[in-house]
């Protein structure tokens, strides 16, 4: 995800190098185009969707190790709980490079869930020097793990990114989606997590068909993740009121969020975005590392209890929950604060 601290760090006269891990190259190119950024260094990573998780981590650590030896950074910034963030942190730790973690302190109550993200984020925190926590709750999570030094509550850069989106004319694909929806209500679906693979994903497809059959004036749009474990199951979902589309660039996807009457997702990022925008959202998780969103009437966890999912959708289509834009994840100035903290850290470190 683009974040404004990249440009803000450069504006503070800090040499800033952006590394592309090589994962999800198509999605990466979309983000680069949307936010007008160009990576300075590309890792060599081929067929990442086909690599076993251990092989992927090993490959990424090797690639980041080579990159850091070449670049010799004083600090690396990692973002979130991805395999990329974890691998880069390990490589930096082994070279004794200072680490800053953006979105630090997100936690569920179970080390193994979600897998592998919860393990990643907890491990990253042990290597990190500068912890950029998005909310007071995430900062408290770090304190409870005896991490007290250099913990900063900065808000979430997802708000910055949402504010950065330009209101450009609709693409041809988005116009086709609008034509498909017509005057009907719209349900937007995303699903990509490992715990959704297999039977949960099949059951989700069946529930969406039930929802489409039971609601005459509703259409469903699903940007299908290109991971074969998702795509190979979802491609068989055929229904005249369900439209399967390619993964959308960020600009298009945010427009889809605004268009939606209900969002069904297993994505933490989408959960944040829908809360910020103010959209009724049903989350396909049994617990979340973003509990702040659950304080809103419009956000519910439904796990993989699909009769509950169908019941809530049917009720919300008739009687929507109270939903309005929220600032629970920050005011959109996270990038500014992160850049200032990093600049101050280097000034103090070098005695300026």
Q: What span, in angstroms and rounded, lies between the C-alpha atoms of 262 and 43?
A: 38
- Sheet containing 151-153: which strands, arranged edge to edge? 75-79, 98-102, 130-133, 151-153
Q: Where are the alpha helices (DSSP H) in 182-248?
A: 199-214, 228-234
Q: What span, in angstroms and rounded, lies between the C-alpha atoms of 349 and 192?
A: 41
Q: Which residues are catalytic?
A: 81, 103, 117, 192, 194, 225
In angstroms, what is the C-alpha Rg of the chain?
Answer: 20
272-277 long-range CB contacts below 8 Å, 24 or more apart? Answer: 272/156, 272/158, 272/329, 273/158, 273/162, 274/299, 275/299, 275/326, 275/328, 275/329, 276/158, 276/159, 276/162, 276/325, 276/326, 276/327, 276/329, 277/162, 277/325
Task: Select from 63, 74, 141 the least CA-distant residue to 103.
Answer: 141
Q: What span, in angstroms and rounded, lies between the C-alpha atoms of 163 and 336?
A: 13
User: How far separated are the first and last CA of the chain, in Å rounded?
Assistant: 32
Q: Is the dihedral of CA 122, 128, 129, 135 positive or negative?
A: negative
């Amino acid at each position: 995800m683009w974040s404004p601290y990249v440009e803000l760090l450069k504006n503070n006269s800090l040499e800033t190098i952006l590394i592309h891990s090589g994962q999800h190259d198509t999605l990466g190119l979309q983000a680069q185009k949307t936010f007008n950024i160009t990576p300075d260094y590309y890792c060599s990573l081929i067929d990442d969707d086909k690599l076993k998780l251990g092989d992927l981590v090993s490959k990424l650590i090797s690639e980041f190790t080579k990159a850091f030896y070449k670049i010799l950074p004083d600090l690396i910034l990692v973002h979130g709980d991805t395999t990329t963030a974890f691998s880069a942190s390990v490589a930096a730790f082994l070279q004794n490079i200072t680490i800053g973690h953006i979105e630090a302190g997100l936690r569920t109550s179970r080390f193994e869930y979600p897998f592998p993200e919860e393990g990643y984020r907890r491990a990253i925190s042990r290597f990190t020097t500068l912890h950029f926590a998005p909310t007071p709750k995430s900062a408290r999570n770090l304190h409870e793990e005896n991490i007290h030094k250099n913990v900063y509550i900065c808000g979430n850069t997802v708000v910055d990114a949402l504010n950065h989106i330009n209101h450009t004319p609709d693409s041809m694909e988005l116009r086709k989606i609008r034509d498909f929806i017509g005057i009907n209500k719209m349900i937007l679906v995303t699903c990509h997590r490992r715990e959704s693979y297999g039977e949960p994903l099949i059951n989700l497809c069946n529930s969406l068909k039930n929802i489409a059959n039971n609601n005459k004036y509703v259409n469903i749009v699903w940007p299908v993740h290109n991971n074969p474990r998702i795509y190979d199951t979802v491609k068989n979902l055929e229904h005249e009121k369900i439209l399967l589309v390619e993964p959308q660039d960020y600009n298009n996807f945010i427009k889809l969020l605004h268009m939606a009457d209900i969002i069904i997702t297993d994505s933490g990022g989408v959960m944040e975005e829908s809360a910020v925008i103010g959209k009724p959202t049903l989350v396909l998780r049994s617990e979340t590392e973003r509990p702040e969103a659950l304080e809103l009437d419009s956000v519910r966890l439904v796990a993989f209890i699909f009769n509950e999912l169908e019941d809530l959708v049917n009720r919300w289509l008739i009687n929507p929950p109270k939903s309005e834009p929220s600032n629970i994840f920050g005011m959109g100035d996270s990038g500014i604060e992160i850049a200032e903290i990093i600049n101050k850290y280097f000034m103090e470190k070098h005695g300026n």
